[in-house]
Amino acid sequence: MSVPVTVLDYGIGNQLNVLRALEHCGASVRVVDKAFAGVEDAPRLVLPGVGAFGDAMVELRARGLDDLVRRYAQTGRPFLGICVGMQVMLDAGEEMGEHQGLGLIAGRVLAVPATGSDGMPHRIPHIGWRPLEPASSWENTLLADVQPRERVYFVHSFSAEPQDPAARLAEVDYDGVRICAAVRRDNLYGCQFHPERSAETGLNVLRRFLQL
C-alpha cells in the first residue's frame, strides 16, 4: 500500500527528482504550489529546494507556504526539508544579505568556510560524496537505516549552524571543517545532502521517512 506524501513546489529546485525517488520508495505523492485548506492535514510533508536562502523565502511567502509550514510543524506529523528546504527551517540565513527563515529550529545558515582546517583554500560550493558521521544518536530517527560513514551527495555553499547541538543529527568532514549534514527537532527533519541523488543510502533515508 502506498504512503501519502505532500511535496511543496515553490519554484525552487529539483522537485521532479524528489518526486521520482519518493514514488520509487512507495509514496503516493501530491504536489502543492500554494496554501489552501486541507494541506496542513497531510500525513507527511516535504520541502525540497535548490538555490539561495533569500529567494526560497520570497517564494514561500508569495505562495503563503511559509505560514503553512509553521502550522504543520506544530501538528507532530513528519516533516522533511531537503538542501535549501532544510536551511530555511532555521531562524535566519546570511546568503546575499540577512534573511529571515521559518524559525522552526533555532540557529543560522552561514557560508561554508573557504579554507580547510589547515588554512588551505578548498572548493566552494562544497560538491561531492561525503561519509556521514553521527552528531547525535540515529536510533529511531530518519537515519536509523544508515550506517556511519555511508556516503551521500552534497551541492551547497552555505550550511546550517543550529543553536542547540542536540539538533545536529549528522555531520561530514570537509578538510577538517565540520559541516552539519542533517538536523532534527521532534517531528522535524532536514537533510543538507540530497537523498534523491544519494543512491541506495539516500533511498533508505526516504524509506525511513515514509515509516515515521
Q: CA–CA separation, 105 vs 27, rounded Å?
A: 27
Residue with cell 503516493: 28
Residue 55, all three cell numbers: 529567494
DSSP strands (E only) in 9-163: 27-32, 45-47, 79-82, 90-93, 99-100, 105-111, 126-131, 133-134, 151-156, 158-162
CA distance 52 to 58: 10
**In angstroms, how far is CA 152 from the centroid of its own chain?**
13
Using the structure block, give the residue that is written with the C-alpha cell 549552524. Answer: 161
User: Is 122 one of the annotated active-site residues of the chain?
Assistant: no
Q: Tell me the C-alpha distance between 111 and 27, whole Å.
A: 34
Is 196 a known active-site residue? yes
Given the residues 83, 126, 156, 171, select the one marked as catalytic.
83
The one catalytic residue in 40, 150, 171, 196 is: 196
Please choose, from the candidates 14, 83, 21, the residue with its C-alpha nearest in 3D space to the C-alpha of residue 52.
Answer: 83
Q: Cα separation of 187 and 142, whole Å?
A: 10
Whether the CB-CB separation of 205 and 146 falls below 8 Å is answered with: yes
Residue tagged active-site, from 99, 126, 156, 194? 194
Can 156 be counted among the known catalytic residues?
no
Supply the residues annotated as catalytic: 83, 194, 196
